[in-house]
A and B are shown apart, each in its own frame.
Chain A
Amino acid sequence: MKSRTPLIFFLFFCFMAITGIILGEPAEVYQKAVTICLSCIGIG
């Protein structure tokens, strides 16, 4: 495996995460995470 592969992967996923942040995805994660998902944990 070429030694630059980790750097390429790291930069690619950094770019992906930053794109997600620009698109406002952390707010969606937050919205889901602060709600008790009753069906997800098998209640209700």
Chain B
Amino acid sequence: MERLRHIVQLIFAFVANCRLYITPSNPIYKGPLKHVCFPGLNCYSCPATPWACPLGALQSAFAGLKKNLSMGKLNMGLYVLGSLGVVASLIGRMPCGWFCPFGLLQDLLFKIRLPKIRLWRPLSWGRYIALFILVIALPIFFTDKFGFGETWFCKYLCPAGTLEAGVPLLIMSPELRSAVGTLFLSKFTIMIFFLIWSMVTVRPFCRTLCPLGLILGFFNRVSWLRLNFNRKICVDCHACELICPTDVFFATGRDDINSTKCIRCFRCYALCPGGAVTIEFSSIMKGQVEDIEGCHCNQEQG
């Protein structure tokens, strides 16, 4: 399962950044795919990407909300929220574990052999601050005299934007280097901080600051694809707690197995020796829940 996930991650990282012919005179793709948001954190100012970033698009919609409403336009990010919701209502936060290029980068960095540190759980509340303050509140309410807000998360925090767009554009365009100031340096420092942190802690950005992961995570409990934990057949080996990259402690009852923190990597499903963790697909037509426990051959593996 883990090998399959890494293959899928690599494929999606390429799909997300498949523009290979890049020239300094034409650094950004301007084709029709830019109408569509990629279901992962991938900056739309990245020279290699043909897609739009859902988080950037959402903030832009919120930043222009006051101005749009004053002009009688009802544009409020429905397209971005709707397309994110469609994906998330099917598979929950699975894009984080399987599709997100920045998630893949953090996974790869964590493979470097260094002493590992568990994340201090209260830090996960940072995701709520990032979403509700930087992505929603400040762009909507903190506007200039023309009614336009700013994309606060992109501008002041997003390490994916710095890595995928800021650094490549500076390398490609020497004239931009003279414009580098304290803002870029502070963002560059944040990026380096998270890259180093990723070497010792699993996915620190996803777990402490990523608003996109939180939005997708809200759907984990209601999505078509869900995880199920059968306490009655759990053998209390606690392998799931040791292997979970996001510290979802469902075996002890501390967390729900479909917590917003779960990135749907399915490691717990693949490793559970008792087969207590199953993947469920809600059967829409029959009005009942079916699981694929029959395909789960971990008892033999265990």
Please list the residues of chain A having a beta carbon within 8 angstroms of any beta carbon in chain B: 1, 3-7, 9-10, 12-21, 23-30, 32-44
Complex CA distance for A42 and B157, rounded to whole angstroms: 9
Other A-B contacts than A6-B224, A36-B27, A42-B187, 13 sampled, CB-CB below 8 A, are: A3-B287, A5-B222, A9-B85, A13-B84, A13-B88, A16-B78, A18-B82, A23-B75, A25-B79, A26-B35, A37-B151, A40-B45, A41-B43
Contact B28 A36 (CB under 8 A): yes
Residue B289, interface by CB 8 Å: yes
Contact A15 B53 (CB under 8 A): no
Give chain A's interface secondary structure class.
helix
Using Cβ atoms and an 8 Å threshold, which residues of chain B touch A25? Answer: 61, 75, 77-80
Using Cβ atoms and an 8 Å threshold, which residues of chain A touch B249? Answer: none
With both beta carbons as reference points, the residue of chain B lying nearest to A44 in the complex is identified as: B179
Contact A40 B161 (CB under 8 A): yes
Contact A40 B224 (CB under 8 A): no
CB-contact partner of B85 in A16, A34, A37, under 8 A: A16
- A10 to chain B: closest CB distance in Å? 4
Using Cβ atoms and an 8 Å threshold, which residues of chain A touch B82? Answer: 13-20
- B86 to chain A: closest CB distance in Å? 5
Complex CA distance for A34 and B179, rounded to whole angstroms: 20
Contact A40 B75 (CB under 8 A): no
Using Cβ atoms and an 8 Å threshold, which residues of chain B touch A18? Answer: 82
Complex CA distance for A3 and B225, rounded to whole angstroms: 11
Q: Which of B102-110, B162-170, B192-200, B204-212 contacts A (4 or more CB under 8 A)?
A: B162-170
Contact A32 B85 (CB under 8 A): no
Contact A6 B223 (CB under 8 A): yes
Contact B61 A41 (CB under 8 A): no
Contact A41 B188 (CB under 8 A): no
Residue B74, interface by CB 8 Å: yes
Given contacts A13-B86, A13-B89, A16-B81, whether A41 and B28 have CB atoms under 8 Å apart is: no
